């Protein structure tokens, strides 16, 4: 696939990710330095290091994104609200939260909608972008469509494929998700994007944003291809 993007434009579609449990301050310093240098759209981190990364990225255009209810989504709405508000207070520009998969699989669509509406409303009030993580590797196509239909009504900024910690990463789910949400909501592909070909495939399928830890490798591949 040929994508009509400059190296800078491709970098600006990437959320540079570090969500490892044992990540240390030096790792976040490296993450932020790379994000600033390459012009990535966002650093995707857990909620605890938000304040640190916000400080490290001061003066840059790189967003700080906090993962909420990560990676299982198995906390109450109230708990996710507290974590979301604290992350925003500490400097988060974007919120990626994991839905309650158990509730979805139990057919409790009302709960999924309430959870989404609550977090999206907080983000909109604070002028922060919101992303809803479906963790598609555990869902049937009907369940994926159901969440996307709810999202089409609630209108978060993005629906996102996976956490990267599940049984599989971004796949053809991007195309399915985009078909449902249309132009109402954007799609973020994340999980298993480790090379330029996969990144291109996700963009072709309809992704507007890519989450990956192999960001530098992918951009260097693209730069070499363009030269």
The H or E element spanning position 124 is: helix 109-125
Token output for 175: 């195309």
195 is catalytic: no
200 is catalytic: no
Exactly one of 96, 157, 173, 201 is catalytic; which is it? Answer: 96
Rounded distance, CA 138 to CA 55, Å? 36
DSSP state of 107: T
Q: Do residues 147 and 99 make contact, with C-beta atoms less than 8 angstroms apart?
A: yes
The H or E element spanning position 200 is: helix 196-205
160 is catalytic: yes
The CA distances from residue 39 to 104, 180, 186, in Å, are 36, 30, 20
Rounded distance, CA 94 to CA 63, Å? 7
Query: What's the gap between Cα 219 and its chain centre?
Result: 18
Rounded distance, CA 6 to CA 133, Å? 28
Rounded distance, CA 19 to CA 212, Å? 10
Rounded distance, CA 132 to CA 186, Å? 10
Exactly one of 13, 144, 146, 160 is catalytic; which is it? Answer: 160
Exactly one of 103, 131, 188, 200 is catalytic; which is it? Answer: 188
Rounded distance, CA 75 to CA 9, Å? 36
Catalytic annotation, residues: 96, 160, 188
């Amino acid at each position: 696939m040929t994508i009509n993007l400059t190296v800078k434009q491709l970098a600006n579609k990437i959320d540079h990710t570090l969500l490892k449990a044992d990540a240390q301050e030096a790792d976040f310093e490296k993450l932020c330095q790379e994000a600033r240098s390459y012009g990535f759209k966002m650093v995707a981190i857990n909620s605890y290091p938000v304040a640190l990364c916000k400080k490290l990225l001061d003066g840059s255009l790189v967003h700080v994104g906090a993962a909420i209810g990560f990676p299982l989504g198995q906390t109450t709405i109230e708990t996710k609200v507290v974590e979301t508000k604290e992350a925003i207070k500490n400097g988060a520009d974007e919120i990626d939260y994991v839905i309650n998969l158990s509730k979805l699989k139990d057919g409790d669509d009302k709960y999924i909608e309430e959870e989404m509406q609550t977090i999206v409303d907080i983000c909109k009030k604070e002028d922060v972008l919101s992303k809803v993580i479906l963790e598609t590797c555990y869902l049937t196509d009907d369940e994926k469509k159901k969440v996307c239909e709810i999202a089409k009504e609630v209108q978060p900024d993005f629906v996102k494929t996976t956490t990267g910690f599940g049984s599989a990463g971004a796949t053809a789910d991007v195309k399915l998700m985009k078909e449902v949400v249309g132009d109402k909501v954007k799609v973020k592909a994340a999980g298993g994007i480790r090379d330029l070909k996969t990144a291109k495939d996700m963009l072709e399928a309809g992704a507007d944003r890519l989450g990956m830890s192999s960001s530098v490798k992918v951009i260097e591949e693209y730069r070499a291809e363009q030269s």
